[in-house]
Amino acid sequence: MNRMPKLLLAWMLAALLAAALPATAAPPQTETPNQRKIALVMKALSNPFFFKMEAGAKAYASEHGLSLEVFGTEMETDIEHQAGIINNLIARSYGAIVIAPADSRKLIPILNKAASQGIVIINIDNPLDQDAQAQYGISIPFVGSDNAKGAALVGNYIRTKLKGKGKVLVIEGIRGAKNSELRKTGFIQALTSGNAIEVIDTVSGNWQTEDAFTAVSALLEKNKDINAIFCANDQMALGALRALDLRQLTGKVWVGGYDNIDEVHNELRNGRMHATVEQHPELMGRYGVELAHRSMQGQKIPTYQETPLDLVAHESFGKRIALALSDSQNPFFTSLLQGARTQAAMHGVELSEADASNDDAQQLVALRGFVDNRVDLLIVNPTNAQTVRPGIELANRARIPVITVDRQADGGRVLAHVASDNIAGGRLAGAYLASRLDSGGTVAEFEGIPGTSASYERGKGFNEALARNPKLRVAVREVANFDRDSARDSMTRLLAEGRQFDAIFAHNDSMILGVMDALQTAKPAHYPLLVGFDAIPEARQAVRDGRISATIAQKPERMGALAVDLAVAALRQETVPANVLVELDLITTSGR
């Protein structure tokens, strides 16, 4: 009779202990702090190319609040050091490794080890060997330029200068490095295609100035009548120039490099060196960290993200280009200006600037001043499509080429126009609202400056999209002149009148931010969907915070850069396209 209570008591005690203690078969998973970190692993940190790469990576990390640590080697040939860095990162359980590898094959085993432990791997700059990856059953995403295509730019340039005949030396990087092999092949194929140009010899300079100096010195002793030298990076080109200096051949031999580091700019300006390639290492670093970030979030990422290439030649150094801007207080145009400045510096161009502060007369005065000063080319961002016409015609009479950017001009001869497809952007905004308001609703449209192509085209595309959705109706159109304060005042008045909307589209972000300001002050019971245009940093943050539903990314920095690129090409007497469109992105709370 006493046995059952004892057994029951023992069973109850065991059950209580089991509930209080964690199960040993499934211990709780804890995330280490390093699993949220991204490591950027580069080659020689002393090379200015990698300074730019690091800056781009850090910029993206800062914008998105990411933890980024940077590692590198002293020499670009130090493969073992890079492997040791990666092994250490594996032991410390980093979340992602973005690597510019010192070798395309020898680092595959250690990178495979990292990938097998769940670490995200992104390859930048120097592509890893595809066959070696296949042997390990891995495929690592690559971010970088097409090295063969970039070297071909220099090959075509030197072929033109040599007029189809001559003797050329090639100084390659580390043999076995994929980017070195691609640059050598791309250059030689472009240089020798369909002509009598002969490549006398190819030797390795190991990416180093001293090694290239020694190699070129020896080759010049053996070959007295060299017409051109191509070096697979600028550090080696500097070594080649030293070897030419000793023989008083500088300026008599065409010299091409690759990377467009700051040290070669004086050599290009003085005509001692003639061409190099800008492959935008800052974008390699930026895109590499971006893909790592997206992959860590579980998003699908591309296997190849190409970065742009630019030929930088000595002819553009010292050229004078003027940029007439409509309104530098607008963040969009600030970004456009920054893109133009960066690209002008890359090409060695002297960029003059004038801000019209949205004043038509002030812009015409600035255009007359640029014409009187005989600039080599004029880039115009019109305050108004019609009122800018006399200024463009003045430049036409002075035979100064004109390029317009973002906003078109209604009259005058314009060599090229750079812009987003504003109609497509407006349609994108309209389609987004239609997808969010499938049961219909009322919409307010805040318009930009009347007479500007941007305002007309965005409105046109937006209303075309809404016309396909009869349940959506534009109840109010307010002209707010692309201005935040004007938009805030207009929205405040509409709210005071008791107006209520399901969605509001503004032709730029400054206006949608003004609308947001008014709504946050009034705190209405019904908060509408808000969609802007331009994707300026403040609007992007507002989208992330959920205060704005979406914005259209128009990439103004890219537009400014492309306008300068077209200007430089025109000044080289190259044919340029009449219209260049920059792609658009819809930015929402869920990302692109």
pLDDT in tens, 318-327: 999 999 999 9
Query: Which of the 8 DSSP states describes residue 250?
Result: B
Distance of alpha carbon 187 from alpha carbon 173, whole angstroms: 13
Residue-wise pLDDT for 434-457, tens only, equals 999 989 999 999 999 998 888 999
What is 33-144's CATH topology? Rossmann fold (3.40.50)
| pLDDT, tens only, 142-189 | 999 999 999 999 999 999 999 989 999 999 998 878 889 999 999 999
Sequence letter at residue 56? G
Q: Which of 449, 468, 474, 458 is nearest to 424 (CA)?
A: 458
- Distance between CA atoms of residues 282 and 51, nearest Å: 8
- Report pTM: 0.72
DSSP 145-198: --HHHHHHHHHHHHHHHHTTEEEEEEEESSTT-HHHHHHHHHHHHHHHTTSEEE
Helix (H), strand (E) at residue 215: helix 209-222
Residue 323: which of 568, 557, 560, 572 has the closest Cα?
560
Question: Residue 35 above 90 pLDDT?
Answer: no
**pLDDT at residue 8, rounded to an integer:** 40
How far apart (Å, rounded) are the C-alpha atoms in residues 466 and 247?
71
What is the model's pLDDT at position 18?
Answer: 39
Given a cut of 60, is residue 23 above it in pLDDT?
no
What Rg value do the Cα atoms of the chain yield, rounded? 29
User: Is 3.30.565.10 the CATH classification of the domain at 147-277?
Assistant: no
Whole-number pLDDT of residue 590: 56
Residues of the chain with CATH 3.40.50.2300: 33-144, 147-277, 422-553
Q: How many Cβ atoms are within 10 Å of 300's Cβ, its own excluded?
A: 6
Please check the confidence at residue 103 and state whether its pLDDT lies above 60.
yes
pLDDT tens track for 394-407: 999 999 999 999 98
Residue at 463: amino acid letter: N
Annotate 425-464 with DSSP letters as a single string.
HHHHHHHHHHHH-TT-EEEEEEE--TT-HHHHHHHHHHHH
Residue 30, pLDDT above cutoff 60? no
Tokens of 56: 């781009």
Top pLDDT among 22 and 421 is at 421
Distances (CA, A) of 65 to 55, 146, 540, 588: 15, 30, 14, 18
107 near 140, Cβ under 8 Å?
A: no
The yes-or-no verdict on residue 16 having pLDDT over 70 is no
Assign 31 a pLDDT band (cuts: 50, 70, 90).
Answer: low
Q: Is 157 within 8 Å of 320 (Cβ atoms)?
A: no
Instruction: Round the average pLDDT of the chain to a whole number and report it.
Output: 91
Cβ within 8 Å of residue 389, ≥6 positions away: 409, 410, 411, 412
- The stretch 557-581 carries a mean pLDDT of 94
Instruction: Kindly state the tokens that stand for 171.
Output: 């100084």
Per-residue model confidence as pLDDT tens digits over 343-396: 999 999 999 999 999 999 999 999 999 999 999 999 999 999 899 999 999 999
The percentage of the chain sitting over the pLDDT mark of 90, rounded to a whole number, equals 79
CATH architecture for segment(s) 422-553: 3-Layer(aba) Sandwich (3.40)
Query: Which residue, 93, 50, 41, is CA-closest to 69?
Result: 41
Q: Is the pLDDT of residue 123 over 90?
A: yes
Q: Check whether 4 has a pLDDT greater than 70.
A: no
Share of the chain above pLDDT 70, in %: 94
At 411-429, the pLDDT tens digits run 999 999 999 889 999 999 9
Beta-carbon count within 10 A of 580 CB: 17
Answer whether residue 44 shows pLDDT above 60.
yes
- CB-based contacts of 532, cutoff 8 Å, min separation 6: 505, 506, 508, 509, 511, 512, 513, 539, 548, 550, 551, 552
242-282 pLDDT, tens digit each: 999 999 999 999 999 999 988 999 999 999 999 999 999 99
Asked if 260 and 234 touch (Cβ cutoff 8 Å), the reply is: yes
Count other C-beta atoms under 10 Å from residue 73's C-beta.
Answer: 21
Long-range contact pairs involving 128-133 (C-beta distance under 8 Å, separation at least 24): 128/101, 128/104, 128/178, 129/104, 129/105, 129/178, 132/104, 132/105, 132/108, 133/108
pLDDT single digits (tens) 146-156: 999 999 999 99
Per-residue pLDDT tens over the stretch 580-591: 998 888 998 754
Averaged over 504-516, what is the pLDDT?
Answer: 97
Which range is most confident: 93-97, 124-128, 174-178?
93-97
The single residue listed with the structure tokens 């800062």 is 62
